[in-house]
Amino acid sequence: MLVRSLTFRLKDPLPNEAKFLMEDFRLAVNNAIRLGIRSNVTSRFTLTKLAYKDFRKEHPGIYAQHLVSAFEVAGSILKNHRRRLRKKLPTQVPFVRRLFMKAENQAYKLDRENGIIDLPIKAGLHIQLELIISDYHRKYLDDESLSLGSMTLLSDRVVVTIRKHAPKPYAPASVLSLDTNERSLDGVLVKEDMIAAVVRAEFPEVSIIQSVHHDRRKRLQKKKSHDRRTAKRLCAREGKREHNRIDYRMHEVANAVLSFAEERRSIIVLEDLTGIRPSKGKKLNRRISFWPRRRLHQIIEYKAAWKGIPVVKVDPRYSSRKCPVCGSIQDSRKGAEFVCGCGWHMDRHLNASINLLQTAASEKAAGGLRFDPGAFQHDVVMVLCGPGRAVRPEPNGTSGIRAVA
Ligand SMILES: [Zn+2]
């Protein structure tokens, strides 16, 4: 089951009944958290058993389903807390400050036609919330293969989760193999054992954003060194901004890659980045963070699963140092071009993507497609050495990905 969340703005200010409900909900969550810590339980069922009766007495009006949902929220908060304790990470006794309430799909109704949510407060009292529906929302609401999940009500918006069964990935007609680098994805599109295009998706701004925010945080720490709390707060805000900016950019890159792959019915080959640590280079003072690349993979994989685009991830060991023709492994990974004694030479990033492709093929994950780099070496060299080759943007106007040749 795949889940995605949709955020809606509300047409009118929240009615008072909803505000009271949210306050009750928050109270129930916090009570259940305290109770859970005191009696050392995290399971929703035990929490419900322990807390339900008392809370029911104090708040006789609240709709029973909402109480159960409050205990569930408390349970997951407690689980997180416990996990942090176990891992000896810094943590405080959890306490919910934010005003919100969550309703499972049987505890509210959303009219997908006109965007009106019917939310029961207590017996005989329902409120209606009118959502502002954009074309983007419409696309999901009109899709009957999607079912509704939980709804979270916040003071200024509503988040509704939608679910669908993961579609069966299509049978690939081509392979898009991508090597993930600090500033770009570089790779090849292979069709019928031939390189059909050399592809690059660039995101040079990401490392710029990172270094700008890194410097800013450093400055903040210096300036606020007399006030650690403020420094911490401001740095956290900087970190959040950095995260949002990079995330936004990575979504764009992922969309470009996916629409490119979908049009050509490609299977996407990526390197498995788990366990890879950035190598300590000469510039020890500015470490290059890995998370934007991991995040990009996460987004690509998630969106691909939603659209039924097959993705395989392969072990990237030696991918930057191996010759795909003769198999010899080089010591250094310096220089923009990979040159091998056997005569093979190629842009280092593209060479890595071909190695990834070969690994995928040898692991028979790539849908039975076979690759023989020697066979298309000629074409590769043509692409890379051809002077003045026009770089054209994708006709569908997607940004960030360019097909050369
Ligand atoms: Zn070689």
Report the separation in Å between the CA atom of 329 and the middle of ligand 1, taken as the mean of its atom positions: 8
Find tokens 């950019």 and name the residue: 249
Distance of CA 251 to the CA centre of its chain: 8
Question: Which residues neighbour 358 within 8 Å (Cβ) at sequence distance 6 or greater?
Answer: 324, 371, 373
Report the separation in Å between the CA atom of 146 and the middle of ligand 1, taken as the mean of its atom positions: 50
Among 63, 62, 86, 74, which Cα is nearest to 29's? Answer: 74
Report the separation in Å between the CA atom of 360 and the middle of ligand 1, taken as the mean of its atom positions: 19
The amino acid occupying position 110 is L
* pLDDT for the residue 116: 96
* pLDDT for the residue 288: 63
Report the separation in Å between the CA atom of 324 and the middle of ligand 1, taken as the mean of its atom positions: 7
Residue 135: phi, psi to the nearest 5? -60, -35
Residue 168: phi, psi to the nearest 5? -70, 125
Q: How far apart are CA 399 and CA 405, in angstroms?
A: 17
Report the separation in Å between the CA atom of 305 and the middle of ligand 1, taken as the mean of its atom positions: 36
pTM of the complete model: 0.75
* pLDDT for the residue 372: 61
Stretches in the chain below the pLDDT threshold 70: 276-288, 333, 364-405
* pLDDT for the residue 15: 93
pLDDT digits 0-9 by tens, 354-383:
999 988 887 755 445 555 655 554 444 322
Report the separation in Å between the CA atom of 275 and the middle of ligand 1, taken as the mean of its atom positions: 28
pLDDT digits 0-9 by tens, 132-145:
999 999 999 999 88
* pLDDT for the residue 13: 93
* pLDDT for the residue 399: 42
Q: How far apart are CA 324 and CA 318, in angstroms?
A: 10
Please report which helix (H) or strand (E) contains residue 39, including its range. helix 16-39
Report the separation in Å between the CA atom of 375 and the middle of ligand 1, taken as the mean of its atom positions: 14
User: What percent of the chain has pLDDT above 90?
Assistant: 38
Report the separation in Å between the CA atom of 343 and the middle of ligand 1, taken as the mean of its atom positions: 6
* Cβ pair 261, 309 in contact under 8 A: yes
* pLDDT for the residue 204: 83
Report the separation in Å between the CA atom of 359 and the middle of ligand 1, taken as the mean of its atom positions: 16
* pLDDT for the residue 46: 85
The arrangement of strands across the sheet holding 109-111 comes to 109-111, 116-122, 125-130
Report the separation in Å between the CA atom of 328 and the middle of ligand 1, taken as the mean of its atom positions: 6
Report the separation in Å between the CA atom of 196 and the middle of ligand 1, taken as the mean of its atom positions: 22
Report the separation in Å between the CA atom of 391 and the middle of ligand 1, taken as the mean of its atom positions: 29
DSSP string covering 240-308, please? HHHHHHHHHHHHHHHHHHHHHHHHTTEEEEEE--TT------S-TTSPPPSHHHHHHHHHHHHHHHHHT
